[in-house]
A = this chain, B = another copy of it.
């Protein structure tokens, strides 16, 4: 039976929630290293102050502010973080077409001291979606943890009707890149709307109401969701294409 906690004496892990967009932000740090280097996954602009205050309290050194994809429902906190801490590196996938300090590709590793995340391409919600998976190895967290963005949600998945979304691609991504992880792997999504905080590969393989179906049925489900146009889309997407930096004065004028 899978447990739902990770055993790693060096990992400090915090899940953080932004209520308006029901977004989860994740903080990971290697507290076995004297610098306690840290990274944030999917920070939200509204909660940057909270996140940085927690990072200060915990004595961590923020190194990376990462996004799983170009969000349509909230503005990433990445840009705001960089205005306050220019040394922090923004990270997003090359496939997203967005700007960032570091453009990652499938197979890349992002390290904080002795901990690392692996990049897996999981397009379908957007064409640039990635899943970050904690490292494979005895010195890495066990069970592994995967940050799935909007590719896989708890008993759900991200919509596929805009931002170059594709149900076929999403189906393939989840089945080939996420469901192939060991069953106890902890899955942490970018959103939850029902108050769940975590799931596992084993649970979603068995109970995901969409992704347990065959590909044709999945496609049919996704094409008939009749979702409304996201409120924040016209603000959030352009902002997130430049990691939330669009409103900042240019270097020349500042």
Q: Is the CB of A7 within 8 A of B10?
A: no
Say whether A168 faces chain B, with CB atoms less than 8 Å apart.
no
Q: Which residues of B contact A195 (CB under 8 A)?
A: 16-19, 47, 50
Say whether A169 faces chain B, with CB atoms less than 8 Å apart.
no
Q: Is the CB of A17 within 8 A of B50?
A: no
What's the number of copies of this chain in the assembled complex? 2
Q: Is the CB of A16 within 8 A of B197?
A: yes
Instruction: Please measure, in the bound complex, the distance between the C-alpha atom of A4 and the C-alpha atom of B14, giving whole angstroms.
Output: 7
Q: Which residues of B contact A59 (CB under 8 A)?
A: 1
Q: Which residues of B contact A162 (CB under 8 A)?
A: none
Q: Binary interface profile of A, 125-143, with partner B (CB < 8 Å = 1, else 0)?
A: 0000000000000000100
Say whether A58 faces chain B, with CB atoms less than 8 Å apart.
yes
Q: Which residues of B contact A5 (CB under 8 A)?
A: 5-8, 11, 13, 141
Instruction: Please measure, in the bound complex, the distance between the C-alpha atom of A57 and the C-alpha atom of B155, giving whole angstroms.
Output: 11
Nearest CB in chain B to that of A60: its residue: B1
Q: Is the CB of A17 within 8 A of B197?
A: yes
Nearest CB in chain B to that of A59: its residue: B1
How close is A118's CB to chain B, nearest CB, in angstroms? 19
Say whether A203 faces chain B, with CB atoms less than 8 Å apart.
yes
Given contacts A14-B197, A50-B195, A195-B18, contact A57 B207 (CB under 8 A): yes
Q: Which residues of B contact A15 (CB under 8 A)?
A: 197-198
Q: Is the CB of A12 within 8 A of B1?
A: yes
Instruction: Please measure, in the bound complex, the distance between the C-alpha atom of A11 and the C-alpha atom of B2, giving whole angstroms.
Output: 9
Pick 21 A–B contacts, CB within 8 A, sort by A. Answer: A1-B12, A1-B32, A1-B36, A2-B12, A3-B10, A3-B13, A4-B12, A5-B11, A7-B7, A7-B8, A14-B196, A14-B197, A14-B198, A17-B196, A47-B194, A47-B195, A50-B194, A50-B195, A57-B207, A58-B203, A197-B197
